[in-house]
Structure formats: structure tokens, C-alpha cells
Copies of this chain bind each other. A is one copy, B any other.
Amino acid sequence: MRETLAEWRPAVDEALADLVPREIDAEYLETFFGEPTYEYDPDGIQRALSDPLWDLLDRGGKRWRAVLFLVLVEGFGADPMEYLPYACIPEILHNGTIIVDDVEDEAAKRRGEPALHHLYGQDVALNAGNAMYFLPLKILTENPADLPDDRRLAAYEMLMYELNRTHLGQGMDICWHNEREVRITPAEYLEMCACKTGCLGRIVARLAAIITDQPDDVEETVANYAELTAVAFQIGDDILDVENSLGRAGEFGKEFGNDVREGKKTLLVIHAIEESAPENALRLEEILEADANTDEEVLEALTIIENAGSIEYARNRALELAAQARTEATELEFDEETTRKLTEFTRFVIDRDV
């Protein structure tokens, strides 16, 4: 996976810079956004859009959504270079959601540096994040690979379907953070992940299928592969937060027990509440619902989760989902190399350490 990511990165970054240049001028604005009625202010748009966007992109990120898209396009027998600009669609969408999520969660840090709203102000950061929901969709209008109208229409409809569900998932997640009780089931938690995280994965997969004109059942199978992988990834994220925090007990820091502090109702929490003795379950809910917690209280919550066997439970669920994803990948009858990459990818999302 690592080589595939490294191999494609320069081309992806070039395509991103074609979409939103590092230096904004009037000519770019006229070409991309259309003739102004009066007169654009390129300086203002530089600071409102390009600066925050490239600040975030330059901090890293694996561009795996863009690369997975290109791997799938190649697997479908098309030339990935021909469809390169489309790889920006999920990548920019993803980075837009990051900026907005960080405002919603009042996050302090992102990729090791201050979250964007701390550097640019909440207004600029939010508007840049929201602009990134629409910017990449203009690629479909520009139509760089000369797609016929029916595929372009299918792509728009797919994007509206998935982006609606993304906000549904985020809505459920946020709403649960703010609730006192843990009242949700594992199925509802998985749905939230399928919507919030899964839909961006589905966009990667369905876009590759649509633009290369695959039949409906292939589009569905590859979407399932991506959704399952993304949900496994999300659970992997939740496990990492608990494991890293437990491994770091004693050297408490800013990142210690983030999810507990935010009151996140993760799969681990849902399981721990179900499986713990009533007094422990109650204590866990109490810590999660508190506005602020000491490091000792966070550690207490993490220990209840660990003692309930919830890390093991969550890991098994993630492994099951990854295995299901591999089954879907096998059904797609790609060439050996593509199948190997897709398989590797389902392992990477759980076994990573960051």
C-alpha cells in the first residue's frame, strides 16, 4: 500500500493544484468560477480559500481516497491518468469535512498543528471548508475526460445521495455526544459510521465505477467494499484512541483519552456499558457526560472499557468487516495486482498505528 500511495502522490498533488492553485489570480477565477459581473478580489480569495486549503494539504494526509480511486479505475481497465482530475473529488471533499468537523468538535489540533479555525478564524475556516464541498464537483462540469451526459448525471446523483447520508451520519454522531445516556445499539453505531465515514469511501468507489461505465451490480459491489473498509477504519480509529491512551497512562497529555473527553459513544463504549456491572456502567456514563474530566477520571473510564473486553470485541468486529470487504473485492474479478492492493488496503486500515 505504501508504495502505491507514494507512487501516485506527486500526480495527485499536481491535480489538486490545478483545481485550486497555490497562487490565485483573476485569470484563474474567470476560468474556473466564470466571468465576474463586476470585479473579483483575487487577494481576498487567496486568503479565504487557497491559503487555508493548502495549509491543510501541506500538513500531510495520505491522499488514500484519491489513490484508491486511481487503483480502481486501473482495475476497471481504464487509464488512471486520463481520469486524474476526478481523483480530487473525494480528496477535497474529505479535507473540507475535516475543517468543518474540527469547528464542530472544537478541536485544538489537526495533523500535529493548530486546527485551521485557530489560525484563520472560525469564519474563514468554515467558509473554506464549505467551499470545498462544492469546488470539486465543478470537475464534473469541466468534464476533462469528455464523459457522456448520462454518466455525468449519474455522478451528480450519486454525489447528492452520498453527501446527504454523510450529514445524516454526522448528525447522529453529534447528537449522541450531547446526550447523557448511552441509548444506542451497535447497529445504530455501525450505521452512523457507514454514513459519516462510509459514504466518502462509497464516493471513491462509485465514482470510479460510474466514469468507467461499469454495470450497476459492479458499482454496488465496489461501493460495499469501500463502505465496509471505511467502517472498519473508523472502528480502528476508536480502538487506537483507547489503546494509545492506555499505553500512555502516566504521561498524560493533550491527546490522552480524546474520545472519552468528547463524550463519544463509540462501539467500545456501547459494548462496555452493556457488559459491565451496573455500577461500572453508570460510572462510565457519568465520566462521558461530564463537561470536564481529570486525567484520573479519563483513565478510570478507559479501564472500565478495557476490563469489559471491549477492545477485543471492537477489534473482532473490525476484522469481520475487513474480511467481508475482501469477499466483496474478490467478487469483482479484478486482475491479481488490483485484488492484492485492495486486500492490502483492508489490512492497512486496522493494523496502522497512527
Question: Are B130's CB and A130's CB within 8 A?
Answer: yes
Q: Which of A146-154, A242-250, A325-333 contacts B (4 or more CB under 8 A)?
A: A146-154
- A131 vs chain B, min Cβ distance (A): 4
Those of A41-80 within 8 Å (CB) of chain B: 41, 44-45, 47-49
A105-127 vs B: 1/0 string, CB under 8 Å?
A: 11000000000000001111011
Q: Which stretch (A186-194, A282-290, A294-302) binds chain B?
A: A186-194
9-residue interface stretch from A137-145, A203-211, A343-351: A137-145
Assuming the A-B contacts A37-B191, A104-B126, A198-B37, are A175 and B131 also in contact, with contact meaning beta carbons closer than 8 angstroms in the complex? no
B121, A178: Cβ atoms under 8 Å?
Answer: yes
Which of A7-15, A163-171, A252-260 binds B? A163-171
- Counting every copy of the chain, the complex holds 2
**A103 contacts the other chain (Cβ, under 8 Å)?**
yes
Complex-state Cα separation, A45 to B191, whole angstroms = 12
Q: Does A313 contact B (CB under 8 A)?
A: no
A126 closest partner in B (C-beta): B104
The residue on B at minimum CB distance from A48 is B171
Q: How far is the CA of A139 from the CA of B100 in the complex (A)?
A: 25
Which B residue's beta carbon lies closest to that of A194? B37
A105 to B124, CA, bound (A): 10
Within 8 Å by CB of A134, from B34, B160, B185, B187, lies B160
Query: Number of A interface residues, CB 8 Å?
Result: 66
User: A44 and B171: CB pair below 8 A?
Assistant: yes
CB neighbours (8 Å) of A213 from chain B are none
User: What's the nearest-Cβ distance from chain B to residue A146, in Å?
Assistant: 15
A56 smallest CB distance to B (angstroms) = 16
Establish whether residues B38 and A167, one from each chain, have CB atoms under 8 Å apart when the complex forms: no
Residue on B with the closest CB to A165? B33
Instruction: Assess the B171–A131 pair: CB atoms within 8 A.
Output: yes
- Nearest CB to that of A176 among chain B residues? B44
Contacts of A40 in B (CB 8 A): 168, 172, 188, 191
| Contact between chains at A104 and B131 (CB < 8 Å) | no
- B123 contacts A105, CB within 8 Å? yes
Interface centre among A106, A121, A153 (most CB of B within 10 A): A153
Determine if B168 and A100 form an interchain contact, defined as CB atoms under 8 angstroms apart.
no
Tell me if B134 and A191 are in contact (CB < 8 A). no
Instruction: From known contacts A45-B168, A104-B123, infer whether A153 and B163 are also in contact, taking CB-CB under 8 Å.
Output: no
State the Cβ distance, A58 to closest chain B Cβ, in Å.
20
Q: Which residue of B lies closest to A227 (CB)?
A: B37
A126 touches B153 (CB 8 A): no
Q: B residues within 8 A CB of A140?
A: 157, 160
25 residue pairs bridging A and B, Cβ less than 8 Å apart? A33-B164, A33-B168, A34-B165, A39-B185, A39-B187, A40-B172, A41-B176, A41-B188, A45-B171, A47-B175, A104-B123, A105-B123, A106-B122, A121-B174, A123-B174, A124-B175, A128-B171, A130-B130, A131-B164, A140-B157, A140-B160, A141-B157, A149-B149, A153-B153, A156-B156
User: A residues touching B (Cβ–Cβ < 8 Å)?
Assistant: 29, 33-34, 36-41, 44-45, 47-49, 100, 103-106, 121-124, 126-128, 130-131, 133-135, 137-138, 140-141, 149-150, 152-153, 156-157, 160-161, 163-165, 167-168, 170-172, 174-178, 184-185, 187-188, 190-192, 194, 198, 227
The 4 A-B residue pairs whose C-beta atoms are closest, nearest first, are A48-B171, A131-B167, A104-B123, A39-B187
